[in-house]
A and B are shown apart, each in its own frame.
Chain A
Amino acid sequence: MDNTRKFKRREFINTSLRLGIGAGLGAIAIGLTTRSVEGKTLWQLDTSKCVQCGNCAISCVKQVSAVKCIHVTDMCGYCDLCSGYLRSNPKDLNTAAENRLCPTGAISRHFIEEPYFEYKITEELCNGCGKCVKNCGAFGNGSLQLQIQQDQCLNCNQCAIARTCPSQAFSRVDRDSPYILKGFESKKSKG
Chain B
Amino acid sequence: MFFKHRRIAMKNRLQIIILALVISLLTFNAFSIQRFPKPEFDSGYKTPAVQVSKIQPAVFEFLDLGLFILIMSLVTWMVLKKRSRKGVFWISVFSLLYFGFYRNGCICPVGSVQNITMAIFNPGYTIPLTAIAFFIIPLGFTLFFGRTFCAGVCPLGAIQDLFAFRPISLKPWIRYLFGLIPFIYLGLAILYSATATDFIICRYDPFVGFFRHNASSMMFAIGGILLVTGIFIARPYCRFFCPYGVLLNLVSRVSRRHLSIAPSACINCRLCENSCPYDAIDKPTGLEVKNDNRELVKRLIVYWFITPALVVLLGWTASKYHDSLALVNFKVRLAKEIMLLEKTESNVTPPIEVTTFRSSGVSNEALYSEAAAILEKFRIGSWILGGFIGLVFGMTLARLTIYRYKNDYTANKGLCLSCARCVEYCPVKEGDTVETEVVPVPVGLENP
A-side interface residues toward B, CB under 8 Å?
14-15, 17-18, 21-22, 25, 28-29, 32-33, 35-42, 51, 53, 61-63, 70-81, 83, 93, 112-113, 115-116, 118, 120-121, 123, 138-142, 147, 149-152, 154-158, 160, 163, 166-168, 172, 175, 178-179, 181-182, 184
Contacts and interface: CB of A to CB of B under 8 A. Distances in A.
Contacts of B43: 112-113
Given A36-B125, A62-B212, A25 B39 contact: no
Given A61-B215, A184-B50, A77 B13 contact: no
Nearest to A28: B116
B106 A80 contact: no
Contacts of B214: 61-63
Contacts of A63: 214-215
A77 B35 contact: yes
Given A32-B116, A36-B124, 12 more contacts: A14-B254, A39-B61, A39-B128, A61-B215, A62-B212, A71-B51, A81-B17, A139-B20, A139-B35, A157-B199, A166-B357, A178-B55
Interface string B23-62: 0100000010011111101110101111111111010010
B132 interface: yes
Given A38-B127, A74-B38, A141-B36, A18 B48 contact: no
B448 interface: no
Nearest to B48: A73
A74 B353 CA distance: 32
B125 A175 contact: no
A18 B42 contact: no
20 contacts: A22-B143, A29-B132, A32-B132, A41-B126, A42-B55, A71-B51, A73-B48, A76-B38, A77-B37, A78-B39, A81-B13, A93-B13, A115-B10, A116-B41, A140-B36, A141-B35, A150-B53, A150-B54, A156-B202, A166-B356
Contacts of A71: 50-51
Nearest to B49: A73
A29 B140 CA distance: 11
B256 interface: yes
Interface in B225-266: 251, 254-256
Contacts of A184: 50
Interface string B76-112: 0000000000000000000000000000101000010
Interface size class of B (residues with CB under 8 A): 35 or more
Contacts of B129: 33, 37-39
B132 A156 contact: no
Contact of B130 (A15, A36, A40, A76): A40
Interface of B: 10-11, 13, 16-17, 20-21, 24, 31, 34-39, 41-43, 45, 47-56, 58, 61, 104, 106, 111, 114-116, 119-120, 123-130, 132, 135-136, 139-140, 143, 198-199, 202-203, 212, 214-216, 251, 254-256, 330, 351-353, 356-357, 360
A134 to B, nearest CB: 12
A18 B17 CA distance: 74
B344 to A, nearest CB: 20
A74 B47 contact: yes
Contacts of B143: 18, 21-22, 25
B108 to A, nearest CB: 8
Nearest to B6: A77
A18 B254 contact: yes
B353 A166 contact: yes
A17 B254 contact: yes
Contacts of B106: 154-157
A5 B51 CA distance: 72
A83 B126 CA distance: 40
B219 to A, nearest CB: 8
A51 B356 contact: yes
Contacts of A42: 55
Q: Which 10 A-B pairs give the minimum distances between C-beta atoms? A: A77-B36, A151-B53, A158-B199, A38-B126, A166-B353, A17-B254, A157-B202, A167-B356, A166-B352, A14-B254
A70 B51 contact: yes
Contacts of B119: 32, 35-36
A33 B111 CA distance: 18
Given A32-B120, A142-B31, A168-B330, A70 B50 contact: yes
Contacts of A166: 351-353, 356-357
Contact of B114 (A35, A123, A157): A157
Contacts of B31: 142, 182
Contact of B115 (A35, A123, A157): A157
B345 to A, nearest CB: 22
A184 to B, nearest CB: 6
Nearest to B328: A163
Contacts of A79: 10, 16, 36
A28 B136 contact: yes
Contacts of A37: 126-129, 132
A178 B56 CA distance: 11
A158 B58 contact: no
B50 A181 contact: yes
Given A51-B352, A53-B352, A175 B55 contact: yes
A120 B45 CA distance: 15
A112 to B, nearest CB: 5
A140 B35 contact: yes
B393 to A, nearest CB: 22
A84 to B, nearest CB: 12
A179 B52 contact: yes
B356 to A, nearest CB: 4
A98 to B, nearest CB: 17
